[in-house]
């Protein structure tokens, strides 16, 4: 069952689930969720299958290319044989929220191969993401 989550007591369970995504800075994710949860430009949904959370999506309103848009900050879904539609359901909730806010674009960044997201969820490539680590600068 997909439910909106707004209770900070859920955050440890979500961070535990986020461990499945390699390279996730868990403490940073936890601080980010705690600091933005229940803000007007933030939304979070989770797939609750008692007694555990099997997936969640966390999105915020940001400005990109000069316009307000929704940015999916984090999404993870535990592999589940029973229901292959959790991703669609989570994304549909975010799409509905975006439309209610009058926003027309959703963006996200993935370290995975984007082909699956393009095929399954109809995202399209919109450029490249480059990273510069100033702690490694000479």
What is the number of alpha carbons within 13 Å of residue 34 lying toward its C-beta? Answer: 11
How far apart, in whole angstroms, are the C-alpha atoms of residue 131 and residue 126? 16
Q: Above pLDDT 90, what percent of the chain?
A: 57
Structure confidence at residue 84 (pLDDT)? 72
- pTM score, two decimals? 0.85
Among 53, 87, 89, 57, residue whose Cα is nearest residue 73: 57
Whether 21 shows a pLDDT value over 90: the answer reads: no
β pairing state of 2-4 and 52-64: unpaired
CA 64 to chain centre: 17
Q: What is the pLDDT, as a whole number, of residue 82?
A: 66
Structure confidence at residue 28 (pLDDT): 93
pLDDT digits (tens, 9 = 90+) for 32-73: 999 999 999 999 999 988 788 889 999 999 999 899 999 999
Q: Which fold would CATH assign to domain 2-136?
A: Aminopeptidase (3.40.630)
Q: What is the largest CA-CA distance in the chain?
A: 51
Pair of tokens at residue 99: 């439309």
- Tell me the domain boundaries of the chain: 2-136
Average pLDDT (14-37) is: 92
């Amino acid at each position: 069952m997909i439910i909106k989550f707004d209770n900070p007591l859920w955050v440890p369970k979500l961070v535990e689930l986020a461990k499945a995504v390699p390279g996730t800075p868990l403490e940073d994710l936890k601080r980010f969720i705690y600091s933005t949860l229940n803000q007007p430009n933030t939304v979070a949904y989770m797939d609750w299958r008692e007694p555990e959370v099997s997936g969640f999506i966390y999105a915020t309103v940001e400005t990109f290319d000069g316009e307000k848009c929704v940015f999916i900050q984090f999404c993870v879904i535990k592999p589940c044989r029973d229901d292959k539609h959790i991703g669609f359901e989570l994304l549909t909730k975010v799409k509905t929220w975006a439309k209610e806010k009058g926003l027309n674009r959703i963006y996200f960044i993935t370290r995975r191969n984007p082909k699956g997201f393009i095929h399954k969820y109809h995202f399209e490539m919109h450029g490249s993401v480059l990273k510069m680590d100033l702690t490694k600068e000479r």
